[in-house]
Amino acid sequence: MRLKHIKDADKIIMASPYLINEPTKYKKKWNKLFNNNNDIEIEIGTGKGKFIISKALNNPNINYIGIEKYDSPLVSAVKKLEDINISNLKLICFDAYNINDIFDKEISKIYLNFSDPWPKKRHEKRRLTSKNFIDKYDGIFKNKKTIEIKTDNDDLYEYSIDSFINNGYEVIKTDTNYLDEYRTEYEDKFISKGKNINYILVVKK
């Protein structure tokens, strides 16, 4: 799906108190930024922010960071937050390929919601559940590694299960007709059209 470009998106998101402008400065210091020692959970590909905002509002004892590569989707997220004060939420406009530049053994859980499936074989390394990215994730987890995935793409679902097993993760739960309490904008759209949602929960100790 082509992203809609929003004029001055970079300026709009930079004006938000939730946006962390230079996230590399906070590597190994995220708990100091949140001013507590609570667990930190991240969503890679946070889009318009509905999922991560709902998570933060309903789980005040967990810190959340939404990571989005493109600035235009984050405009919707910061607009949702204009009249809300959430102390346990931050947003980052950053390419997750370089995620090890901003975190080091600090994260408790990763959410991958409706990631680009990159269906062509030559693009496999771009998939967020490829070994290429799993190796990066292993370096940012604090203790036990926990990843939750939701996707409408059946091929990515099957690929991700195999990929995580092959890289030492244990599959705790799978579901091909998952209904989550916390949903993304894409998820609402898919469900309204009758599309099944695939879910995976994996851990690695």
The domain spans of the chain are: 20-204
pLDDT-based confidence at residue 9 (cuts at 50, 70, 90): confident
Q: What pLDDT score does 205 carry? A: 87
State which H helix or E strand residue 29 sits in: none
**Rounded Cα gap, residues 53 and 35, in angstroms:** 19
Q: What pLDDT score does 2 carry? A: 44
pLDDT digits (tens, 9 = 90+) for 67-100: 999 999 899 999 999 989 999 999 999 999 999 9
Task: Tell me what the mean pLDDT of segment 139-149 comes to.
Answer: 97
**Rounded Cα gap, residues 157 and 183, in angstroms:** 18
The single residue of 104, 116, 138, 180 carrying the catalytic annotation is: 116
CA proximity to 178, closest of 157, 161, 162: 157
Task: Tell me what the mean pLDDT of segment 28-44 comes to.
Answer: 97
Q: What pLDDT score does 186 carry? A: 86
Does the annotation mark 116 as catalytic? yes
Nearest-Å Rg of the Cα atoms of the chain is 16
| Report field, pTM of the whole predicted structure over 0.85 | yes
**Rounded Cα gap, residues 168 and 173, in angstroms:** 15
**Rounded Cα gap, residues 99 and 31, in angstroms:** 17
Q: Which CATH superfamily is domain 20-204 in?
A: Vaccinia Virus protein VP39 (3.40.50.150)
Q: Which runs of consecutive H residues, i.e. helices, occur in 81-141?
A: 131-138
